[in-house]
Structure 1
Amino acid sequence: MVRKRTSRVVSVIALIICAAGHLYGADQHGADQPNVVVIISDDQAWTDYGFMGHPVIQTPHLDRLAEHSLVMDRGYVAAPLCRPSLASMLTGRYPFQHGITGNDVNGSTNRAALDVPLRKAFHKLPTFVKTLVAHGYLAHQSGKWWEGSWKDGGFTDGMTHGDPQRRGRHGDAGLKIGREGMKPVTQFIDTAVTEEKPFLLWYAPFLPHTPHNPPQRLLKKYQKEGRAADLVKYYAMCEWFDETCGELLDYIDEKNLTDNTMVVYICDNGWAAPSTNADDPNQKLWKGYAQRSKSSPYENGIRTPIMISWPGVVKPERSKRFAHAIDLFPTIAAAADVEVPTDLPGVNLLDAEKRDARTCVFGVCNATHNMTLGHSDETLQYLWCVEGDWKLLVRYHGSDTTKYHNLHVWDTAPSRLYNVAEDPHERNECSAEHPDIVARLKKEIEGWHKPEVTAKGDQVSLGGDCCLPSGRQAFFMNPADVSTIVEK
């Protein structure tokens, strides 16, 4: 009898210990999860770093990060414009899936009101921010942020208020980070350390984005006889951005957090100074930056190095495999050991087999300041694919009603093919010489995304009942006469 009672007591104790072990394991899981730091450059070409071989621009802090990272220099973003590009990073989806295809619905017209239903629909989607916060992370937003306030985005702390009554737009107060110091970020890190919680840091400073007003010491450093003023300013801005990255990474190191912190680096889209494209007759259409850079599907618009550093976990090496902005969500979730939606198209970049299995990447380019809620392809300008050495651009002429249509209106070719291994700056269009490659890549694109708009010579129409709900009409649009358009 005593023996039976003892046996029962032992069994109960064993169950309690087991249950406690499960609870302890859950707590330990949170303690073992790595901190995640996402660094996002704003308007920087893929070549413009020391570790990418630029002959002038100096980026010593990012160079040091590259030495300790998996560096994928064939990285691509989903769209060559900040808002849709950032939205794809957050959601792991393409712009036609998450609905953010441009920066505004109708240029500056009724901007705030028209944006409300767009953001409302967007915030229904899972993001890596909301996912990590749901699993015990503290999360801080600083820098570029289009989708309302930091609270709207699911962060636990942040800088952007998003209030249109206070001129809230694309980051507002958050855009001070880096340019006016790093205190909000370092204070957040201190809080996370004190609370002993893993943290997610979204560091997306308004750098090297315009206004190009770098410190005078950096401006003087890059001044050189014969070097265009716009290049001097841009080069200095790139180094200024690098310095802020150094401040952040050094602070993490000072707090002895480096070993348990995964750093992810990417740029939202490319950029090039107008003076670098002065020989292009189409440059007269746009003064803000070089044609075929930002807002375009050319390499200077969509390509970026993507880096992942995680000491003891990620082997530092250079990889020629493709990486993509849509990979951030599955990669970050894998590092934190949390589940992601099963329908995400990206891959976990920590998985070498999955990286190696990828043979091509895709993306879009829509109108810069036009969007249609629920019908993202109405503003489509390009679909593109990169497979091996080859890159194909397929041209569409979707709605584009603001002055930003000058960024695309000159390009009337139905498709363009480039060998980006031999010709990374896309100077030699070769679709006529390789019709078989054009046909194959077009088929790849169609298998990936068949848009609502269908090209018809120099016109487009909305195709299919899916994009013609009751009361709507198909539209046709002729490209404007390039000779009559000059950007003002």
Structure 2
Amino acid sequence: MSKQKTIRIAATSMNTNKHLLLALAVTLCPGSFSLAADKPNIVLILSDDQAWTDYGFMGHPTIQTPNLDALAKRSLVLDRGYVASPLCRPSLASMVTGLYPFGHGITGNDVDGGNDRAALDVPLREQFRQHPSFIRTLTANGYLAHQSGKWWEGSFADGGFTHGMTHGDPKRGGRHGDAGLKIGREGMKPVTEFIDLAVQQQKPFFVWYAPFLPHTPHNPPERLLAKYAIDGRAQDVAEYYAMCEWFDETCGELLDHLDAKGVAENTIVLYICDNGWAAASTNADDPNQKLWKGFAQRSKGSPYENGIRTPIMVSWPGRVKPERSKDLAHAIDLFPTIAAATGAEAPANLPGIDLMDADARNERTQVFGVAHSIHNMTVGDPDDTQQYLWCVEDEWKLLVRYAGKDTTKYRNVHVWDKAPARLFHLKNDPHEKHDLAAKRPGVVERLKRAIENWR
């Protein structure tokens, strides 16, 4: 027998044994393998109304988030992440489409129309669904996809999910998540059962976990509230702190279930928050700060850091190196990041980057975003209720006041801020107390030009 023939026979025997061993392993441990090993599972964890500072891993001195802290230790942590809008509905829409609000048309939470707002919202939702989304991209590539928690654009099926909780029917109170908002607060069973199903079917899966946490109503378990309710701390602050830890506990249940099913090693976990928040009492002593429906100004709904900044995490065991990065990151990056990780094709017009690409992060010098009126939208004219444009470059941040066509349409608390532009040095002034626009006109003009070129 020739030497080459002997080698071929040996190789064939090794390959046969390899396949037999793999088949045996799948039989014994079905949860350890997906249908296609090159398709990682994706879990997206979305916090709801949480300031960028309010985690253990971000250095908060009081709030305890041990599960997210543990996730951070095994993740690429981009603590200078930003969202496209400081309000949940447009913020989530930008994550899903990879577009800014003026690109996908969702600029606020509602179409102005009083009792008719549900009917007026229908054409807006239909318009939104014409845009590609990473959800539909994943399901088109063989993924099962589950929705739970916050979801504004109709039912889970309308959003392209194969499974989910939200019905989206206005006649049954379907708005911003409806039945899906029970997740976390009333247990994790719908999500864990979906993961079990996907593992059983050996399908790659996507989980949209967007619980109504730590969002109001702030009604944490008594055991957690007692932990944070101490003398000298405002009640609304104590309740919010307890809600942050409650949210963290639910994240721990989800992450533990991935481990229990043996799929954690082949699962990418992404973390982001939709927008910031701060308790009303935290600025009640400032005469320049008005209060708005239970939360402080310069937080949710505003273009300040407590409205738009969030840590962003990417965990992929063996593929993404755990580290802390000061690179600028953005919610619009989720679509290109997920597409790159799964081998899917993202639309060519997406302005975001793959967050796992260090070169792309290093080349980015600026990020941008907008803030619109909270409770009304003009269908087909996203600029109509626009209030601010902003740019972050290195340690500088510029807010530009934008006058829409009809300022009487503004229903946002931040109209009081009449300054045409505000400039902050974030390294020295991370909480934006000192406006430097008058002292640094050159920086203001340069960043204004950058905003004009972007917009």
Alignment TM-score, normalising by the size of structure 1: 0.85
Deviations 1:154-174 (A, max 9, x none): 000000000011001000000
Find the counterpart in structure 2 of residue 455 from structure 1. Answer: none
Residue of 55, 58, 63 corresponding to 1:52? 58
Find the counterpart in structure 2 of residue 124 from structure 1. Answer: 130
Find the counterpart in structure 2 of residue 244 from structure 1. Answer: 250
Residue of 372, 375, 384 corresponding to 1:378? 384
Which whole-Å CA distance do the structure 2 matches of 1:254 and 1:89 have between them?
29
Q: Do structure 1's residue 422 and structure 2's residue 414 form an aligned pair?
A: no
Distance 1:137 1:401, change over 3 A: farther
Question: Which shows bigger deviation, 394-403 or 289-298?
Answer: 394-403
Contact 1:128 1:329 in 2 (8 A): yes
Which whole-Å CA distance do the structure 1 matches of 2:173 and 2:363 have between them?
46
Structure 1 residue 284 displacement after superposition? 3.9
Find the counterpart in structure 1 of residue 264 from structure 2. Answer: 258
Which whole-Å CA distance do the structure 1 matches of 2:86 and 2:224 have between them?
28
What secondary structure, in the 3-state scheme, does the structure 2 residue paired with 1:265 have?
strand
Which whole-Å CA distance do the structure 2 matches of 1:107 and 1:432 have between them?
41
Instruction: Output aligned runs, 1:6-21, within 5 Å.
Output: none
Q: Do structure 1's residue 104 and structure 2's residue 110 form an aligned pair?
A: yes
Contact 2:273 2:311 in 1 (8 A): yes
Structure 1 residue 395 displacement after superposition? 0.5
What secondary structure, in the 3-state scheme, does the structure 1 residue paired with 2:306 have?
helix
Contact 2:198 2:205 in 1 (8 A): yes
Find the counterpart in structure 2 of residue 143 from structure 1. Answer: 149
Deviations 1:253-299 (A, max 9, x none): 11111100000000000000011111222444524210000000000
Contact 2:95 2:333 in 1 (8 A): yes
Which whole-Å CA distance do the structure 1 matches of 2:380 and 2:452 have between them?
20
Q: Do structure 1's residue 72 and structure 2's residue 72 form an aligned pair?
A: no
Q: Do structure 1's residue 155 and structure 2's residue 155 form an aligned pair?
A: no
Which whole-Å CA distance do the structure 1 matches of 2:117 and 2:372 have between them?
18
Contact 2:35 2:204 in 1 (8 A): no
Which whole-Å CA distance do the structure 2 matches of 1:139 and 1:381 have between them?
35
Structure 1 residue 31 displacement after superposition? 3.8
Q: Do structure 1's residue 178 and structure 2's residue 184 form an aligned pair?
A: yes
Residue of 319, 341, 345 corresponding to 2:347? 341
Which whole-Å CA distance do the structure 2 matches of 1:331 and 1:151 have between them?
23
Residue of 396, 411, 419 corresponding to 2:402? 396
Instruction: Output aligned runs, 1:284-303, within 5 Å.
Output: 284-303=290-309
Find the counterpart in structure 2 of residue 312 from structure 1. Answer: 318
Contact 2:145 2:207 in 1 (8 A): yes
Unaligned runs of 5+ in 2: 1-32
Distance 1:390 1:201, change over 3 A: same
Q: Do structure 1's residue 189 and structure 2's residue 189 form an aligned pair?
A: no
The one-letter amino acid of 1:241's match is F
Deviations 1:92-113 (A, max 9, x none): 0000000000000106441111
Which whole-Å CA distance do the structure 2 matches of 1:103 and 1:447 have between them?
27
Structure 1 residue 124 displacement after superposition? 0.5
The one-letter amino acid of 1:38's match is L
Distance 1:28 1:117, change over 3 A: same
What secondary structure, in the 3-state scheme, does the structure 2 residue paired with 1:174 have?
helix
Find the counterpart in structure 2 of residue 432 from structure 1. Answer: 438
Structure 1 residue 28 displacement after superposition? 9.1
Find the counterpart in structure 2 of residue 350 from structure 1. Answer: 356
Deviations 1:328-352 (A, max 9, x none): 0000011101110001000000111
What secondary structure, in the 3-state scheme, does the structure 2 residue paired with 1:377 have?
coil
Structure 1 residue 222 displacement after superposition? 0.2
Contact 1:370 1:401 in 2 (8 A): no
Which whole-Å CA distance do the structure 1 matches of 2:411 and 2:228 have between them?
30
Structure 1 residue 374 displacement after superposition? 1.5
Which whole-Å CA distance do the structure 2 matches of 1:292 and 1:355 have between them?
28
Structure 1 residue 402 displacement after superposition? 7.0
What secondary structure, in the 3-state scheme, does the structure 1 residue paired with 2:160 have?
coil
Distance 1:243 1:402, change over 3 A: farther
What secondary structure, in the 3-state scheme, does the structure 1 residue paired with 2:295 have?
coil
The one-letter amino acid of 2:207's match is L
What secondary structure, in the 3-state scheme, does the structure 2 residue paired with 1:381 have?
strand
Find the counterpart in structure 2 of residue 36 from structure 1. Answer: 42
Which whole-Å CA distance do the structure 1 matches of 2:151 and 2:114 have between them?
18
Deviations 1:223-250 (A, max 9, x none): 1101000000000000000000000000
The one-letter amino acid of 1:171's match is G
Structure 1 residue 408 displacement after superposition? 1.3
The count of residues paired between Structure 1 and Structure 2 equals: 422
Contact 2:113 2:120 in 1 (8 A): no
The one-letter amino acid of 1:383's match is L
Contact 2:276 2:308 in 1 (8 A): yes
Which whole-Å CA distance do the structure 2 matches of 1:377 and 1:184 have between them?
39
Distance 1:283 1:321, change over 3 A: same
The alignment's C-alpha RMSD in Å is: 1.4
Structure 1 residue 71 displacement after superposition? 0.1
Find the counterpart in structure 1 of residue 240 from structure 2. Answer: 234
Residue of 174, 192, 212 corresponding to 1:168? 174
Alignment TM-score, normalising by the size of structure 2: 0.91
Find the counterpart in structure 2 of residue 408 from structure 1. Answer: 414
Distance 1:316 1:395, change over 3 A: same
Q: Do structure 1's residue 220 and structure 2's residue 233 form an aligned pair?
A: no
Structure 1 residue 400 displacement after superposition? 6.0
Deviations 1:345-364 (A, max 9, x none): 00000111001110000000
What secondary structure, in the 3-state scheme, does the structure 1 residue paired with 2:384 have?
helix
Residue of 271, 278, 286 corresponding to 1:280? 286
- Runs of 4 or more, structure 1, over 6 Å off, are none
The one-letter amino acid of 2:157's match is K
Q: Do structure 1's residue 113 and structure 2's residue 135 form an aligned pair?
A: no
Which whole-Å CA distance do the structure 1 matches of 2:409 and 2:251 have between them?
35
